Amino acid sequence: MGQSIGTLFRGNLNSLGGGTSITADEIARNINLTGYTAIITGSSSGLGKESARVLAKRGAQVVLAARSIEGLNEVKALITAETPTANVEVMHLDLTELKSVRKFAEDFKQKNLPLNILMNNAGVFAKKFTPTAEGIEAMWATHVVGHYYLTMLLLDKIKETAAQSGIEGRIMFTGSEAHRVTYKGGINFDALLDPSLYTAYQAYGQSKIGDILLARMIGQQLKSEGVNVVANSGHPGAVKTPLGRNFFEKGTTEVGYQVSKPFIKSPEQGAANLVYVAISPDLKGVSGKYFSDFKEISPSKYGSDDELGQKVMKYCEDFVASRMSA
The Cα 62–Cα 118 span in angstroms is: 10
The pLDDT tens digits for 49-95 are 999 999 999 999 999 999 999 999 999 999 999 999 999 999 999 99
Is residue 148 flagged as an active site residue?
no
The pLDDT tens digits for 145-187 are 999 999 999 999 999 999 999 999 999 999 998 999 999 999 9
* The pLDDT of residue 254 is above 50: no
Q: Which residues, at least 6 apart from 10, have a Cβ–Cβ distance to it below 8 Å?
A: none
Q: What are phi and psi of 231, to 5 degrees?
A: -135, 130
Residue 15 vs residue 169, higher pLDDT:
169
* pLDDT number for residue 242: 52
* pLDDT number for residue 264: 77
* pLDDT number for residue 240: 56
**Cα three-residue angle 49-52-55, rounded to 5 degrees:** 150
Residue 135 vs residue 21, higher pLDDT:
135
* The pLDDT of residue 18 is above 90: no
**What proportion of the chain, given as a percentage, has pLDDT over 70?**
86
Of the residues 36, 148, 198, 290, only one is catalytic, namely 198
Helices (H), 131-283: 138-140, 147-165, 200-225, 242-247, 254-259, 267-279
Domain covering 5-324 in this structure, CATH number: 3.40.50.720
* The pLDDT of residue 98 is above 50: yes
Map out the domains of the chain as residue ranges. 5-324
* pLDDT number for residue 239: 64
**What proportion of the chain, given as a percentage, has pLDDT over 90?**
82
* pLDDT number for residue 237: 79
Distances 49 to 23, 88, 255 between C-alpha atoms, Å:
14, 12, 25
Task: Pick the range with the lowest mean pLDDT from 11-25, 111-125, 223-237.
Answer: 11-25
Other CB atoms closer than 10 Å to residue 70's CB: what's the count? 10
